Amino acid sequence: MDADSHAVVAAVLRTARAARAPVAPVSSTHGIEGLEAAYAVADLNTQARLAEGQRIVGLKVGLTSKAVQEQLGVDQPDFGVLFDDMEYLSGQDVPTNRLMQPKIEAEIAFVVGSDLAGTTPSYAEFLACLVYALPALEIVDSAIADWKIRLVDTVADNASCGVYVLGDQPVLLGQLSLGDLGMCLTKNGTTASVGTGSACLGHPLRAAYWLACTMAARGQGLKAGQVILSGALGPMVPVAAGDHIHAQIGALGSVSCRMV
């Protein structure tokens, strides 16, 4: 695909999100092939959001849970950009009128404490740049109708980013064995999803390290204060207005929200 084709697909996805009207898979309707083409489309819409005055406040790793990969029929992770208007705090109401077909998942978030330059870091260098872990909820949302996505569809659509919710109490990195933590997510008081830290690419820190290396390969680093959503610990759960969501991630703590 050439630059003009990328721009056409970016506009289709941007319009779908603005109108909250999902479209057919762009992989089939516009012939997107390959991850580089898909990320080029996503980059155009990142630039469009920045031009509108939004700020990048973090990154997300998507498709880290085998359960979620099986739900969506994909077989590798991807990443997306988090903007300042996507963030909510535990206990807040999350408006559904900004979403199309939301699904929720519990995750472990990391807070970057110091800049990490855009060169491939060692694992120790990567760990040294992180400071906190937090329980989090990610509410993913696809601009592709009925979530009929291939990997290139979700990548082009900014990794199906919707909004996210952060827990209140940060925990210093190293205080807990994050891979061993159990997760239980309830919807309206009923268990809806369970999992463990190890469901996230074997360990949430490995998922976040994959992100750091992937961004370095693209000539980009991590910045102090950014949030990293490391990926789902269990299956996604559809949500709608009126749903109360609560997730407990072992000793890391809990996080909750209400969909309105």
Per-residue model confidence as pLDDT tens digits over 136-148: 999 999 999 999 9
What's residue 206's pLDDT? 96
Domains of the chain: 56-259 (3.90.850.10)
What's residue 216's pLDDT? 95
Which residue blocks in 139-251 are alpha helix, DSSP H?
A: 151-156, 204-217
Tell me the backbone φ, ψ of residue 218, rounded to 5 degrees: -95, 10
Average pLDDT on 21-48 reads 93
pLDDT 10s digits, 155-185: 999 999 999 999 999 999 999 999 999 999 9
What's residue 164's pLDDT? 98
pLDDT at residue 73 above 80? Answer: no
What's residue 3's pLDDT? 85
What's residue 108's pLDDT? 98
Beta strands 237-238; 103-112: pairing state: antiparallel
* d(C-alpha 129, C-alpha 127), whole Å: 5
Q: Whole-model pTM?
A: 0.94
DSSP of 117-143? -SSPPPHHHHHHHEEEEEEEEEEE--S
pLDDT 10s digits, 89-142: 999 999 999 999 999 999 999 999 999 987 899 999 999 999 999 999 999 999
Contact predicate 117/95, CB 8 Å: no
Structure tokens at 118: 């855009």
Contact predicate 63/138, CB 8 Å: no
What's residue 70's pLDDT? 77
Chain position carrying tokens 């990969």: 69
